[in-house]
Structure 1
Amino acid sequence: MFSFCADPSILERLPWLACYLTTGVHMSFYGSFIKVLLLLAVTAPVALGFGFAGAMAARASFFFVRWIGKAYIALVRGVPDIAFFLFFVIALDQAIEFTRHKVLCPDWELPVRQGNDFVVCQAAKMPLGNASQWVHESYGFSLAVVTFAIVFGAFAANVLFGAMRAVPHAQLETAEAYGMSRRQTFWRVMVPQMWVYALPGLSNLWMVLIKATPLLFLLGVEDIVYWARELGGTKTSRFTDYPHGDWRMWYFFVLLIFYLCFTRVSEIVLDRLMKRLTRGQATTGGEAQRKAA
């Protein structure tokens, strides 16, 4: 980064630290913070979509659809997150490669399962072996987004299902008395009303999602936890020119500050959103606002 960084062995304390913190691998470390924020920005709406679909399915009048919705909520919520992440990513990756293998390599005669190995033709690899690095990273990130969305979508579905049931039934009956159809009652009365009941649970789920982002490390994505362990450790090949002691505590301390600041900002935003949603509502929060006014 700097012109005086050509020979780190002759640098003094502050110039050495300046060169150390501006190396290419440190830029990857700084970029991993953006990767975590991008994961949250993409996963949250996708998980909310899964949750809304699961809640609607759990309320469906058809038994089979209702069974699918309740089974999705129960199965995903009943499995530890780490176990589901490790299982689902491997299963989804192998399912994609197996499908491509059947389509692209119909003349393949060897079995796909060879002992403990899963072997497909080179054309079926995802991503391809000669693909660029960004393709490999994007593929791993996409698998992580899908996995996070499915897991937290099940929790969101449970929250939204309870919020739908919390909407006063008298409001639904009034809508039907005015001639609204069942679909109109759902979209015009229940859905707008349910968010005030769902937001406390969704707020807690958002906080849990933030704290679960270090699981990216287990999915093979080079996230902030990966780089903190890699850059802070003494036994690493990342810094042959910048040897140092065990600095992992300081790197993880940076992560601690990052997550505390991010959760604090989230609390402020969610609190303002809650006040906005409860304004004029027949809830405890709405009554408190009326009295304050």
Structure 2
Amino acid sequence: MFSYCTDPAALDGLAWFSCYLTTGKHMSIYYAVGTVLLLLAITAPLSLAFGFGGATAARSQILPLRWFGNTYIAIVRGVPDIAFFLFFVIALDQAFEYLRHRIKCPDWEAEVWQGNDFIVCAAAKLPLGNAPQWVHETYGFSLAVLTFAIVFGAFAANVLFGAMRAVPRGQIETAEAYGMTSRQTFWRVIVPQMWVYALPGLSNLWMVLIKATPLLFLLGVEDIVYWARELGGTKTPQFTDYPHGDWRMWYFLALLVFYLGFTKISEVVLDRIMARLTHGQAAAAGEAQRKAAA
């Protein structure tokens, strides 16, 4: 990147490190950090949406909808994350390709499933074989986001379901006494008050989501853990202009600092959100604030 990096063999000290840390390979790990942050930024609200939908379905008075919500929560929470990530992405990818295959290749006569092979016509492939590299990467990232959202949405649904039930029954009965319908009671009484009960569980879920980002590698996305292992391994002069020994310990130490710093910032932000939500409410945290102010 720098003008003095033309001859790495003539460099030493800080100049060598400045050139080493700005090579094309190292740009990949910086890009991977952005990928992780983008994943969290998209997955968190999407998981919350899945969770809210699952919790609402689980408490529905419509029996099939209630069965669906409870089944979603039970099955996804009961399956180990790594097994779900390995199986679900393949199944989801094949489901998309199968639907495209039925639409785009109606005259296809051969079986789609041939033993252990899943074969569809070229036009049904996702993405297409001649698609640019960024399309392949975007598709893989989208599958990762959807998988993370479904998995963590089930845990969020369980948290939100408990939070909805934690809203004092007396307030719901008061709303009903004022003539509110079940829909009005849900949106005007339960939903505004449930967040104070849900936030501790959602905070823990956010921390788990941060720690789960290395699972991106299982979904074919090259994350920061992958690049830390790749770049930190021993490099000889035959393979690079910047040879070095086994530096994986230092790379993983940098990841440790990154994750600890990120979780600390998250704790500070979540504490402030909790203080704002509980301000003036007759909950445990709100009562503690009242006594502190007195």
TM superposition score normalised by structure 2? 0.96
| Equivalent in the alignment of 1:13 | 13
1:141 and 1:236 map into 2 onto residues whose CA distance is: 32
Separation in 2, partners of 1:236, 1:32: 24
Distance in 2 of aligned mates of 1:80 and 1:175 = 41
Question: Following TM superposition, by how much is the alpha carbon of 1:5 offset from its aligned partner in structure 2, in angstroms?
Answer: 1.7
Q: Provide the C-alpha distance between the structure 1 equivalents of 2:55 and 2:37, rounded to a whole number of angstroms.
A: 27
Q: How far apart in 2 are the matches of 1:137 and 1:123?
A: 19
Query: AA paired with 2:172?
Result: L
Residue type at the aligned position of 1:217: F
Q: Is the 8 A contact 2:196 2:277 kept in 1?
A: yes
Residues 64-99 of structure 1, C-alpha deviations (whole Å, 9 max, x = no match): 111100000000000000100111111001111111
In the superposition, relative to structure 1, how do residues 11 and 131 fare at CA in structure 2: closer, same or farther (>3 Å)?
Answer: same
Question: What SS class does the counterpart of residue 76 from structure 2 fall into?
Answer: helix
Shift, 1:4, TM fit: 2.1
CA deviation map 1:135-173 (0-9, x unaligned): 111111100000000000000000000000000000000
Consecutive unaligned residues in structure 1, runs of 5 or more: none
Question: Is it true that 1:41 corresponds to 2:41 in the alignment?
Answer: yes
CA distance in 2: counterparts of 1:64 and 1:143, whole angstroms: 28
Q: For the residues of structure 1 that align with 2:70 and 2:91, how far apart are their CA atoms? A: 22
Query: Is residue 291 of structure 1 aligned with residue 291 of structure 2?
Result: yes
Taking the TM superposition and a 5 Å limit, the aligned residue runs for 1:220-259 are 220-234=220-234, 240-259=240-259
Instruction: In structure 1, give the amino acid aligned to 2:83.
Output: A
Tell me the distance in 2 between the aligned counterparts of 1:26 and 1:277.
Answer: 42
Are 1:25 and 1:238, in contact at CA under 8 Å, matched by a contact in 2? no
> C-alpha offsets along residues 167-187 of structure 1, whole Å, 9 cap, x if unaligned?
000000001111111111100
Aligned to 1:215: 215
Corresponding residue for 1:2?
Answer: 2
Query: In structure 2, the residue corresponding to 1:230 is in which secondary structure?
Result: helix
Greater CA deviation, 109-118 or 159-168? 109-118
- The RMSD of aligned alpha carbons is 1.6
SS in 2 for 1:134: helix
Q: CA shift at 1:110, angstroms?
A: 2.7
Q: 1:226 to 1:238 in 2, by over 3 A?
A: farther
1:238, distance to aligned residue in structure 2 (A): 11
Identical-pair percentage: 77
Question: 5 Å matches for 1:82-101?
Answer: 82-101=82-101
Distance 2:291 2:245 in 1: 59
Q: Which amino acid aligns with 1:80?
A: P
Q: Is the 8 A contact 2:236 2:244 kept in 1?
A: no
C-alpha separation in 1, matches of 2:97 and 2:180: 48
Deviations 1:25-78, CA, capped at 9 Å, x for gaps: 211211111111110010000000000000010001111111100000000000
Partner of 2:108: 108
SS of the equivalent of 1:127 reads coil
With the length of structure 1 as denominator, give the TM-score of the two structures: 0.96
1:226 partner SS: helix
Given the alignment of the two structures, is residue 141 of structure 1 paired with residue 141 of structure 2, yes or no?
Answer: yes
Give the letter for the 1:98 counterpart.
Answer: Y
Shift of 1:239: 5.2
Cα distance in structure 1, aligned partners of 2:87 and 2:236: 29
Aligned position for 2:51: 51
Structure 2: runs of 5 or more not aligned: none
- Alpha-carbon distance between aligned partners in 2 of 1:94 and 1:211, rounded to the nearest angstrom: 28
State the shift of 1:234 in Å.
2.2
Q: Is the 8 A contact 1:51 1:156 kept in 2?
A: yes
Residue pairs, 1:57-206, within 5 angstroms: 57-206=57-206
The change in CA–CA distance for 1:280 and 1:66 in structure 2 (over 3 A counts) is same
Aligned equivalents of 1:5 and 1:118: distance in 2?
48
Relative distance call for 1:239 and 1:259 in structure 2 (3 A) is farther
Instruction: After superposition, give the CA deviation of every residue in 1:99-129 in whole Å (9 maximum; x if it has no partner).
Output: 1122222233332223322222221111111
Separation of aligned partners in 2, 1:263 and 1:279: 24
Residues paired across the two proteins, number = 293
Q: Distance in 1 between matches of 2:12 and 2:268?
A: 43
Give, in angstroms, the shift of residue 7 of structure 1: 2.4
Asked whether the equivalents of residues 230 and 238 of structure 1 are also in contact (C-alpha less than 8 Å), the reply is: no
Q: Distance in 1 between matches of 2:143 and 2:92?
A: 8
1:28 maps to 2:23: no
Cα distance change, pair 39–246 in 1 and its aligned pair in 2 (3 A): same
Q: Distance in 1 between matches of 2:236 and 2:226?
A: 12
